[in-house]
Amino acid sequence: MNHLSSETFRENARAALADVHLRGALKNATSLFGERRRVAAASLPNWEDLRSEARAIKDEVLSHLDKYLEEFVRTAESRGAKIHWARDAAEANTIICRLSAERKASVIVKSKSMTTEETHLNTALEAAGMQVVETDLGEYIIQLADEPPSHIIAPAIHKTRGQVAELFTSELGTPPTDDIAQLTSTARATLRDRFAAADVGISGVNFAIAETGTIVIVENEGNIRLTTSLPRLHIAVMGIEKVIPRFADLDVFLKLLPRSGTGQRLTTYQSFITGTKRHATDEGPEELHILLLDNGRSRMLAHPVTRQSLACIRCGACLNACPVYQQIGGHAYGSVYPGPIGAVITPQLMGLEKASQLPYASSLCGACREVCPVKIDIPRLLLHLRGEISERKGSARERLAFKLWARVMMSPVLYKMSSVAGRVLQRVVPISKAWTSGRDLRPIEPRSFHELWSDE
Amino acid sequence: MNNEARQEILSSIRTHLAASAPFDARESPVNHAVVLSAQPVASNLIDLFKENLEAVDGHCIVAHGDAEIAEALTQIISALQKTKLRAQRIAISDAPELERLMYMTDLEIEELGIAPNASDIFRFDVGITTGQAAIAETGTLVLDSAHERHRLVSLVPPVHIAIVDASTIYATVGETLSMLKIGKELSPAVTFITGPSRTADIELTLTIGVHGPQELYVIINQSPRCT
């Protein structure tokens, strides 16, 4: 079930629902992450204030995004970083392929970056004849399996240790084992060899500081530190929304991101990288290139409701909290960004027509809004997108039905008549199968609330 | 660089923000005037640091002066030499006191490397560095590349031992961030380290030591000259 499409969401979801193993894995993952997040958030007395503060900072940046980007570019360049701008995925991949080819790179190590998943960078680099190795353990596993990530922070959440062992045996020739520590050390050993050989390291960016030109990357494994320390060229890829104004703002985000993602107080490593090294004898890459990607993001600025999608810090908390994601997992969304945030970002990035089912992949229960560390009102965004979809391609029948419904609801006489009619009709006319195949439809009560009230 | 893309992206940002203005006027603004309440911090920063580092599977030893630090190094490394981690090839950063401290230890080792480069570092079993600061509330070690060559020594060997002055322990992440920025330019590479390398990418099972060190020791130097 590799590389599903957002256009077939309903079929994907149905297939995922039938996968008993997947649902077990999802239940474990989402409940564990959810509980850890709850405990971590409760440990800070000012959690709600932090969320408001983080959102205020993001709102400030997004309403002056041009200004903060220009400031970041100025400060980063003054420290020796080279900046590249890419309007779309193709342009981003072309720039990265060119930079790597110019330096005659043959091995490229990568740390986890959702942005390069979005641009399908690996495919482009491989087509250009370079070996690309994902070094985050989860990403490495799914790269060997040729599958997309199924969770923003735990990409291989859908695989059992048995499946990983089989994969390592067939791809790396290691003896079969059920021991997770052994599997991890196999990956460590194999990847060390690639780190030692790598010419280029490609990373993502969690925060880019306008004031200082610093990029901040957080992780637990150490592969990001290796990727950004060993090769002579480091390319950092970031969406244009990743910039924040001041270095001191990190205090707020470093409290929110790890607690929301994995329930940690801090992840094991935070790398704060500001430009290139000062002396030739210093450690670290010779060159730092930072690529700023638009790819549909600037469009989202055109309305305050859609703009808040850009406040997302990719913690994955909304995935764990979502009753839909909990049942179907990430692959069914057919997008690198799954779950509630994926359901709002994907249609805006890829175009409504390519992902028109995703905004409906929600019960609008609001659990995502409750856990979001930057208070993104995802249910409101979903409704906004549904509105845009029905304006574009709502059926005439649906429009007529809602017109009728509105007319009936505005007139007590018509309402009364319709409920009487409904009671009779439901016995003789079968109700739409699409509605009742997945849920029960209770019969209309013989007497309405209104009638009972009048009797009292 | 690619000036055309730059101009186009910036102008797209400006156009779309302008288009948003009439809708923005109708939105109720998010409350911007948040005053973040200060966190209470325990008075003994060393104890708090130790407790928090141990909670994330790191080890913490408090020593008073060079002799005790050398003794701690001897104990840590000789214990490791009895394990499969070997601890025979020791890499140290170029912080001057480390070479001196190593000569004060009572250890038999195969090799001592000083700030080995990217092609040599992979064969070492233990890396020893100093740390420029520590954070009590999270048990975090702070490395600043401006002070020594410790980027690879702290990362590639399976064991990392760091020596930190007790006077450089800060209470909170926030205080540490302000310290890093005040009065000077940020160093090219600042790294926060909280415990050994970890992953839970297979079946959510916590595994210590994936790409970075699987053992982290922090020796806090509480010598009289620092207080």
- Partners of B145 on chain A (C-beta within 8 Å) are 277, 282-284
Does A251 contact B173 at a Cβ distance shorter than 8 Å? yes
What does pTM read for this prediction? 0.93
Cβ contact A274–B186 (<8 Å):
yes
Minimum-distance CB partner of A299 among B16, B178, B194: B16
Say whether both A212 and A94 belong to one domain: yes
Phi-psi region of A169 (alpha: psi -120 to 50; beta: other; left: phi over 0): alpha
CA–CA distance, B197 with A262 (Å, rounded to integer): 15
Do A3 and A140 fall into the same domain? no
CA A130 to chain B, closest CA, distance in angstroms equals 21
- Using the predicted structure, report yes or no on whether residue B37 has a pLDDT greater than 70: no
Domain match, A292 and A221 both: yes
Same domain for A386 and A408?
A: no
Q: Which pLDDT band holds residue B34 (cuts at 50, 70, 90)? A: low
Residue type, A302: A
Please give the residue that has the higher pLDDT: either B68 or A421: B68
* B41 vs B5 pLDDT, higher one: B5
Q: Give domain status of residue A48, yes or no.
A: no
- Window 167-186 of A: residues touching B by CB (8 A cutoff) are 180-181, 183-185
Residue A305 lies in a domain: no
Bridge partners, residue B140, by sequence? B135
Q: How many domains does chain A have?
A: 3
pLDDT tens for each residue of B43-56: 699 999 999 999 99
CATH at B110: 3.40.50.10420
User: Would you call A111 an interface residue with chain B, using a CB distance cutoff of 8 Å?
Assistant: no
Task: Please give the average per-residue pLDDT across A377-382, as a whole number.
Answer: 98
Select the more confidently predicted residue: A304 or A2: A304
Q: How many CB pairs under 8 A join A and B?
A: 245
Distance from CA of A433 to the nearest CA of B (A): 38
Residue B225 to chain A, least CA–CA distance (Å):
30
| DSSP for residue B36 | P
Residue A446 has pLDDT above 90, yes or no: no
Interchain pair B188, A282: CB under 8 A: yes
Mean pLDDT along residues B58-63: 98
Residues A116 and A143 in one domain: yes
Answer yes or no: is A306 within a domain: no
Q: Beta strands A287-293 and A233-239: pairing type?
A: parallel
* Residue B226 pLDDT exceeds 50: no
pLDDT at position B163: 98
A326-367 pLDDT tens trace: 999 999 999 999 999 999 999 999 999 999 999 999 999 999
Chain B residue whose CA is closest to A135: B211
Contact yes or no for A53 and B56 at CB 8 A: no
Which band of pLDDT confidence, cut at 50, 70 and 90, is reported for residue A1? very low
Torsion of CA A398, A401, A402, A404, to 10 degrees: 160
Q: Which two tokens stand for residue A291?
A: 């690529």
Residues A247 and A321 in one domain: no
Q: Are residues A289 and A141 in the same domain?
A: yes
Residue A292 has pLDDT above 90, yes or no: yes
Q: To the nearest whole angstrom, how far is the Cα of B150 from the nearest Cα of chain A? A: 8
Which chain B residues are within 8 Å of A189, Cβ to Cβ? none
Instruction: Answer whether residue A51 is part of any domain.
Output: no
User: Tokens 């924040």, residue?
Assistant: A244
Q: Is the pLDDT of residue B32 over 80?
A: no
pLDDT tens per residue, range B127-179: 999 999 999 999 999 999 999 999 999 999 999 999 999 999 999 999 999 99
* Domain membership flag for residue B212: yes
Report d(CA B177, CA B180) in Å as an integer.
5
Task: Examine the pLDDT at B28 and tell me if it is beyond 70.
Answer: no
Residue A272 CA to residue A342 CA, distance in Å, equals 28
> Mean pLDDT throughout A11-35?
94
Range 286-325 of A in CB contact (< 8 A) with B:
292, 294, 298-305, 307
Q: Which residue of A has its CA nearest to B180?
A: A247
* Residues of B whose CB is below 8 A from A244: none
Give the neighbor-by-neighbor strand order of the sheet with B189-193.
A243-244, A207-209, A214-219, A269-274, B189-193, B140-144, B133-135, B169-170
Query: In this complex, which of B174, B189, B213 lies closest to A271 when CB atoms are compared?
Result: B189
Residue B39, pLDDT above cutoff 60: no
Decide which of A271, A298, A325 is a domain's last residue.
Answer: A298
Cβ within 8 Å, pair A268-B207? no
Residues A377 and A408 in one domain: no
Token digits of residue A346:
């994907």
Q: Is B86 left (phi over 0), alpha (psi -120 to 50) or beta?
A: left
Q: Are residues A95 and A168 in the same domain?
A: yes
Nearest residue of B to residue A158, measured between CA atoms:
B203
Nearby residues of A132 by Cβ (< 8 Å), 6 or more positions away? A108, A110, A121, A122, A125, A126
Q: Does the residue A39 lie in any domain?
A: yes
By percentage, how much of chain A surpasses pLDDT 90?
84
Alpha-carbon span B200 to A184, nearest angstrom? 10
Shortest CB distance from B152 goes to which of A220, A267, A283? A283
Q: Residues A178, A154: one domain? A: yes
The pLDDT of residue B223 is 81
Q: Are B41 and B172 in contact (CB under 8 A)?
A: yes
- How many helical (H) and strand (E) elements, i.e. helices and strands, does chain A have? 22, 10
Q: Which of B2, B140, B212 sits opposite A221 (nearest CB)?
A: B212
Please say whether the beta carbons of B65 and B75 come within 8 A. no
Residue A443's domain comprises 403-455
Residues 419-448 of A with CB under 8 A from B: none
A165 and A197 co-located in one domain: yes
**Does A92 share its domain with A207?**
yes
Contacts of B185 in chain A (CB under 8 A): 79, 212, 274
In this complex, do A266 and B194 lie within 8 Å of one another by their Cβ atoms? yes
CB contact under 8 A, A268 and B209: no
**How does the average pLDDT of chain A come out, rounded?**
94
On whether residue A435 sits in a domain, the answer given is: yes
Whether A3 is in a domain gets the answer yes
Domain count across chain B: 1
For residue A206, count CB atoms less than 10 angstroms from its CB and return exposed for 0-12, middle for 13-18, buried for 19 or more. buried
Residue B113 forms part of a structural domain: yes
Encode pLDDT of B67-126 as tens digits: 999 999 999 999 999 999 999 999 999 999 999 999 999 999 999 999 999 999 999 999
Assigned domain for A446 exists: yes
Of the given ranges (A237-241, A267-271, A425-429, B177-181), which has the lowest mean pLDDT? A425-429
Which of A220, A291, A369, A372 to mutate: most B Cβ within 10 Å?
A220
Give the residue from A394, A414, A435 where a domain finishes: A394
d(CA A333, CA A338): 6
Domain-embedded: residue B220: yes
Mean pLDDT of A59-85: 98
Segments forming the whole domain that contains residue B203? 45-226
How many whole angstroms separate alpha carbon A345 and alpha carbon A333?
A: 11
pLDDT for position B43: 66
